[in-house]
Amino acid sequence: MKINWFPGHMNKALKDISEQLKKVDVVTYILDARIPLSSLNPSLSQLAENKPILYVINKIDMADEKRIKELLPNFKGENIDYILFNSTMSGKSELITSKLKKLSSKKIEKYKAKGVKATIRTMIIGIPNCGKSTLVNNLSKKAKAITGNKAGVTKHGLWLPIGDCIEVYDTPGTLYPNISDQETAKKLAYVGSVRDEILDFVELSTELLILLKEKYPALVEKRYGACKNIEEIALARKYVVGGGEVDVERAARVVIDDFRKGRIGKLTLD
């Protein structure tokens, strides 16, 4: 199974992002803490490379924090900062806004010297289903952005005011035209950044189970016991269809759902 998903609206989104970036002071780049490195879209990174960047390592509540700490040096540097975040928790927006103001301090001081209050403009970018729109709603304290637990919900960019001095541009989740690294492609599929309808769930869950046994064997055993593969999980849970045939497809979808919902444990695959 070769995984590649780049529908037409993503190509339009990249063009729109390129145009709107001219108006942006700092980029807010949302990453999924379960795959923080694989969350980096080369097309987006190239567009944003000349802007200050705040990496929001989101869904930290579902991730292996020990592994995340090892990866943090990748997200810190000159005009680059990060924050560990759970965008589903309310009341944390000041953590984001304070970082944005710090990264935009030159503009703020420049306007302050003129006696004018600066408006900071940030663009929120990231792969599909990484929590961008949920973060926007958290920041604005109102459900202004459409959210959903699947890829491809946000289709168009949108400027929204956040408080009295920050404006955010929410963009559609965007992948890139050709994902040549299929290990990265599989990780994107595991977290729901690729549309499920194009995936072979039996093959995908088999690959996921192999990876999880390699990285987190104790957690896998705790969840699935001595089951060695998807078919054994189906048998153990008595997933059968007409005629007593083992329903491997159902077991495969359960394993993917267990991973996405955090039922296996706190995991980081990168």
Query: Of 189, 139, 137, nearest to 162 (Cα)?
Result: 139
In the beta sheet, which residues pair with residue 58?
A: 32
Question: 3-state class of 252 per DSSP?
Answer: helix
pLDDT of residue 132 exceeding 90, the answer is no
Average of per-residue pLDDT across 63-67 = 96
Q: What are the structural domain ranges in the chain? A: 8-170, 200-260
Please tell me the pTM assigned to this model.
0.89
Higher pLDDT, 151 or 50: 50
- Give the CA angle between residues 110, 122, 141 to the nearest 5°: 115
Encoded amino acid at 121, one letter: R
pLDDT per residue as tens digits for the range 213-270:
999 999 999 999 999 999 999 999 999 987 889 999 999 999 999 999 999 999 999 9
Any idea which fold 8-170 has? Rossmann fold (3.40.50)
Distance CA 38, CA 186 (A): 10
Distance CA 85, CA 95 (A): 9
What was the pLDDT predicted at 160? 82
CA 168 vs CA 57, 130, 160, 203, 265: distances in Å? 18, 17, 5, 39, 33
pLDDT of residue 212 exceeding 70, the answer is yes
DSSP character string of 157-214: -EEEEETTTEEEEE------S----HHHHHHHHHTT-S-GGGS-HHHHHHHHHHHHHH
Query: Of 66, 5, 4, 68, nearest to 36 (Cα)?
Result: 68
DSSP state letter for 246? B
Res. 89 pLDDT band, cuts 50 70 90:
confident
What was the pLDDT predicted at 149? 47
Distance CA 123, CA 103 (A): 13
pLDDT of residue 91 exceeding 70, the answer is no
What was the pLDDT predicted at 145? 45
Two structure tokens written together for 195 = 């549309």
Phi, psi of 133, rounded to the nearest 5 degrees: -65, -35
H-helix segments, the chain: 8-20, 42-48, 65-71, 93-103, 105-113, 132-140, 182-190, 201-215, 217-224, 230-236, 248-260
Distance CA 95, CA 91 (A): 9
